[in-house]
Amino acid sequence: MCVERWQKNKEVLESMATKLYNATVVGKITITPDLMIFRVDTDEAREEFEAGQNLLIGLYGFEKRSSNSEPELVPAEGDKLIQRPYSIASAKTETRQLEFYISQVKSGQLSSRLFNLDIGDRVYVGTKISGIFRLDETPDGSDIVMVATGTGIAPYISFLRSHIVERPESKMVVIQGAAHRWDLGYSSELTFLEKSFPNFFYLPTLTDADDRWDGYRLCIEDLLRKDILQNEFNITPDPERTHFFVSGQPEMVGRVSEWLHDFGYTRHHPDEPGELYIEEF
């Protein structure tokens, strides 16, 4: 009897809590067991955002975690909404159907719950869109180098979907580092863009490639040090001419930033404009 009442109370609490959910999952493309492209349709359109910005996604702690997750490092509380920021991969004009590129932190609270969702499930998507990792803050005509590991590629997909047509005078390069070929999310879209736009170049590089890979086999920092940007595309690490975006693992971000500091790059802040834009996650 007591167990039944407890179960009833739990159901009432959960149904009240999920009224906060304001979006429906409409797409889930699994790239690897721990990497997915995730699309939601929000009940209300969001404000127009700037390419590269992020917003919060949330689920309650009572939601189930994925079958391949590991015990939580910090167990979530059932009645609390867990919220984390995610970069939007959609074009800036797509204010209702939003796309994200998400990696599962197996011992994490939210990502392991997001990986358990299916098409049609409900989720909370924040209404405030923020972030200073924005292509629109770079001067027209400057060359743009976008460096990413892992899901750090997401904001660049938004940059390119939103702006590539408008900036024919800028050379734009994406350098995407990963361990294996199958970790290179969005590589078909980036390859297609390279074939379609003469000013866009895609440089994937793998640190643990198999025999069939005929591309670069360097970590990002070594690829930059070998002057491949200068030799192949005539792009120089010159803060007057080229703006750098660096997004992904903090260690890679730190090493690339250090290399750029030697050429006189300074980190961009809204009050103190610089030529180096950083997003760590």
Ligand X SMILES: Cc1cc2nc3c(=O)[nH]c(=O)nc-3n(C[C@H](O)[C@H](O)[C@H](O)COP(=O)(O)OP(=O)(O)OC[C@H]3O[C@@H](n4cnc5c(N)ncnc54)[C@H](O)[C@@H]3O)c2cc1C
Do 49 and 88 form a contact (C-beta atoms < 8 A)?
A: yes
In whole angstroms, the minimum distance from the beta carbon of 227 to ligand X comes to 30
In whole angstroms, the minimum distance from the beta carbon of 270 to ligand X comes to 15
Q: Is 255 in the site for ligand X (CB under 6 A)?
A: no
Q: Is 281 in the site for ligand X (CB under 6 A)?
A: yes
Applying CB under 6 A, among 18, 22, 97, 107 the residue interacting with ligand X is: 107
Closest by CA position to 261, among listed 239, 231, 246: 239
In whole angstroms, the minimum distance from the beta carbon of 213 to ligand X comes to 24
44-52, 82-90, 192-200, 205-213 -> range binding ligand X (CB under 6 A): 82-90
Q: What is the DSSP string of 115-175?
A: TT--TT-EEEE-S--B-S--GGGSPTT-EEEEEEEGGGGHHHHHHHHHHGGG-TTS-EEEE
Q: Is 116 in the site for ligand X (CB under 6 A)?
A: no
State whether residue 110 is helix, strand or coil: helix
Closest by CA position to 32, among listed 153, 148, 182, 249: 182
State whether residue 4 is helix, strand or coil: helix
Residues numbered 54 to 73 that lie near ligand X (CB under 6 A) are 54, 73
Q: Is 102 in the site for ligand X (CB under 6 A)?
A: yes
Applying CB under 6 A, among 87, 138, 149, 205 the residue interacting with ligand X is: 87
Q: Is 31 in the site for ligand X (CB under 6 A)?
A: no
Applying CB under 6 A, among 103, 149, 187, 205 the residue interacting with ligand X is: 103
Q: Is 149 in the site for ligand X (CB under 6 A)?
A: no
- For residues 162 and 57, give the distance between their C-alpha atoms in angstroms, rounded to a whole number: 22
Q: Is 156 in the site for ligand X (CB under 6 A)?
A: no
Q: Is 27 in the site for ligand X (CB under 6 A)?
A: no
41-49, 80-88, 138-146, 261-269 -> range binding ligand X (CB under 6 A): 80-88
- For residues 246 and 153, give the distance between their C-alpha atoms in angstroms, rounded to a whole number: 9
Applying CB under 6 A, among 38, 49, 60, 86 the residue interacting with ligand X is: 86
98-106, 137-145, 213-221, 264-272 -> range binding ligand X (CB under 6 A): 98-106
Q: The tokens of 158 are what? A: 């938004």
φ/ψ of 210, rounded to 5, equals -90, 180
Q: Is 179 left (phi over 0), alpha (psi -120 to 50) or beta?
A: alpha
Q: Is 105 in the site for ligand X (CB under 6 A)?
A: yes
Applying CB under 6 A, among 42, 90, 111, 187 the residue interacting with ligand X is: 111
Half-sphere exposure of 133 (CA within 13 A, CB side): 30
| CB-nearer residue toward ligand X: 111 or 176 | 111
- For residues 134 and 131, give the distance between their C-alpha atoms in angstroms, rounded to a whole number: 7
Please give the residue whose beta carbon sits closest to ligand X in the complex: 108
In whole angstroms, the minimum distance from the beta carbon of 54 to ligand X comes to 4
φ/ψ of 275, rounded to 5, equals -115, 0
Contact footprint for ligand X (CB under 6 A): 54, 73, 84-87, 100-103, 105, 107-112, 151, 154, 279, 281
